[in-house]
Amino acid sequence: MTQTPVESAATVRRLDPEDAQLALAKVQDLLHRHELVENLAHRQEGDDQRAELVESLIQRQHEAELTALVNDLHPADIAFILGSVPNVERQMIWRLVSAEHDADVLLEVDDWVRESLIEAMDRQDLVAATESMDADELADLAPDLPPDVVAEVQKGLTVEERARLIEAMGYPDDSVGGIMDFEMVRVREDVSLEVVLRYLRRLPELPDHTDQIFVVNRQDKLLGTLSLSSLLVNEPESQVSEVMSTDYLSLNPLDSDADAAGAFERYDLVSAPVVDELGRLIGRVTIAEVVDVIREDSDEQALSRAGMQDEDIFAPVTRALQNRAPWLLLNLCTAATASFVASRFEDTVSTIVVLAFLMSIVAGIGGNSGNQTMTLIIRALAVGRITDKNVWQLFQRELLVTFMVGLVGSAIAAVFAWAISGSIAIALVMMAAMICNMLIGAMIGVLVPIVRTRFGKDPAMGSSVLLTFATDSLGFFIFLGLATLFLL
């Protein structure tokens, strides 16, 4: 006898990155219609009271549609929309977000969006949004919250939760302690797997990303890990000590979060225990936090190379100027220096005019070659592959690779120079200058990130500006200098 499948009434949501963009488009359309109604109402003549009534009714309809649309989204999608609209519209949408989503949205949005949202919330709403957060989540938000709100929320925590919050707030933001989670399952080694299973069934739910259970003694010292697969496939009568694994990777709370991300990537981890100097289990790191670290580091690196910091794309112009102007002004100074170098060879350029068209090629190719090397080095530094013992070997390799590429590229450039000038001497000067400038770009590409790392600085910060300065100024100097020596 066949049975008819029972259709579930639950809504199945298909995960699609385009869903958030589609929702954003719908939100922007509603906001645009809302703005059109306001403008139209202001232009109406005659019965002002009737116009205001019509405007109010239409606006309420738009707000109702917007409220239904936004609150049907995942908190991460709401966070995406809030970061994609100007501040005025952002505050309007934020007022329509259901209070039950406030905590999750505040945790999902970027720092610069969170600041604007918190500024618009009153004290009571902030307390309501944060009082349900775990200690590690509250620690993430604490720097952006008013001190009196943090103090008020602390009053509602248990002694253990308050101690966890204080501990989490004491670690640097870029450390393992700053991203670790306190919610985890721990058991003793002298119990059977059946006891562990009964214990798990009594829990309301397992902590997110639980792939292993931590085995500790009475002093909370970590003895090993028990994977869920081992728990399920072994006999219930087996002791935890018999099936647990003592070969595990643990993290220290003061380790860099970037190092932790590298370990997760290398060993394909889902979670990892965090232990203190005494070997006591104090928390865990999960793949969810690691993905956030990888994304943030990637974003910071991309911005740093241009000499920028993360900013609200709809921030006031004055704030954007403060972020962008310093490195742009430095870039202006470097460009002026390159022009000054070229001006010192005015007689050479005026005598052999074709040099003015060729010297930009020398500078551009040197910059592009150096940029390739710099990108490789910054990536290697990020994953910890560069050490004191292999720096010199890496430096030599990059110079050799650049020289070999330079030979081929400069030969092509020399043919081009000969074709437009008809001079073999100019072609040879072009070839020599290009090889030299590409080698300079390679040296800068290796040295700048490594030196900045040695001084505890971001290796990517402004690196492209410094590289451009070197390859432009020295490229012009080498090319025009060689031309002055051998062509005049």
Domain boundary among 147, 171, 195: 171
Tell me what pLDDT residue 18 has.
Answer: 58
Here the CATH number for the domain that contains residue 450 is 1.10.357.20
Asked if 97 and 78 touch (Cβ cutoff 8 Å), the reply is: yes
Same domain, 343 and 481: yes
Tell me what pLDDT residue 9 has.
Answer: 40
Same domain, 137 and 277: no
Same domain, 201 and 164: no
Pairwise CA distance, residues 159 & 148, whole Å: 19
Same domain, 428 and 351: yes
- Angle between helical axes of 287-305 and 463-487 (0-180°, round to 10): 40
**pLDDT, one tens digit for every residue, the chain (488 residues):** 444 444 434 444 444 555 778 888 888 888 777 777 666 655 555 455 555 655 566 677 778 888 888 888 888 899 889 988 888 888 989 988 988 888 899 988 888 888 889 988 888 888 888 888 888 888 888 888 888 888 888 888 888 888 888 888 889 888 999 999 999 999 999 999 999 999 999 999 999 999 999 999 999 999 999 999 999 999 999 999 999 999 999 999 999 998 899 899 889 999 999 999 999 999 999 999 999 888 888 777 767 666 666 666 676 777 767 777 776 787 788 888 888 888 889 888 888 888 988 988 999 899 899 989 998 898 888 777 888 888 899 999 999 999 999 999 999 999 999 999 899 999 999 999 999 999 999 999 999 889 888 888 878 776 777 888 889 999 999 999 999 999 87
Same domain, 154 and 194: no
Alpha helix stretches (DSSP H) within 156-286? 159-169, 176-179, 193-202, 228-233, 240-243, 257-267
Tell me what pLDDT residue 278 has.
Answer: 92
Tell me what pLDDT residue 469 has.
Answer: 86
Residue 467 included in any domain: yes
> What is the total residue count of the chain?
488
pTM beyond cutoff 0.85: no
Tell me what pLDDT residue 189 has.
Answer: 94
Q: Which residues pair with 281 in a beta bridge?
A: 275
Same domain, 406 and 286: no
Same domain, 166 and 257: no
Asked if 178 and 171 touch (Cβ cutoff 8 Å), the reply is: yes
Same domain, 328 and 467: yes
Q: Which amino acid is at 103?
A: A
Tell me what pLDDT residue 272 has.
Answer: 96
Residue 12 included in any domain: no
Same domain, 43 and 65: yes
Residue 348 included in any domain: yes
Residue 312 included in any domain: no
Residue 453 included in any domain: yes
Tell me what pLDDT residue 152 has.
Answer: 87
Same domain, 28 and 121: yes
Tell me what pLDDT residue 48 has.
Answer: 59
Residue 29 included in any domain: yes
Domain boundary among 275, 305, 335: 305
Q: Which long-range contacts does 63-68 make (Cβ < 8 Å, 24+ apart)?
A: 63/34, 63/96, 65/30, 66/27, 66/30, 66/31, 66/34, 66/93, 66/96, 67/96
Same domain, 247 and 388: no
Domain boundary among 171, 196, 213: 171
Same domain, 148 and 200: no
Here the CATH number for the domain that contains residue 34 is 1.25.60.10
Residue 268 included in any domain: yes
Which domain range does residue 344 map to? 317-487
* Burial classification of residue 171, based on how many CB atoms lie within 10 Å of its CB (0-12 exposed, 13-18 middle, 19 or more buried): middle
> Please, what sign has the CA dihedral across residues 474, 479, 481, 482?
positive
Residue 176 included in any domain: no
Here the CATH number for the domain that contains residue 202 is 3.10.580.10
Domain count, the chain: 3
Which among 245, 240, 189 is positioned nearest to 219, based on CA atoms? 189
Tell me what pLDDT residue 406 has.
Answer: 92
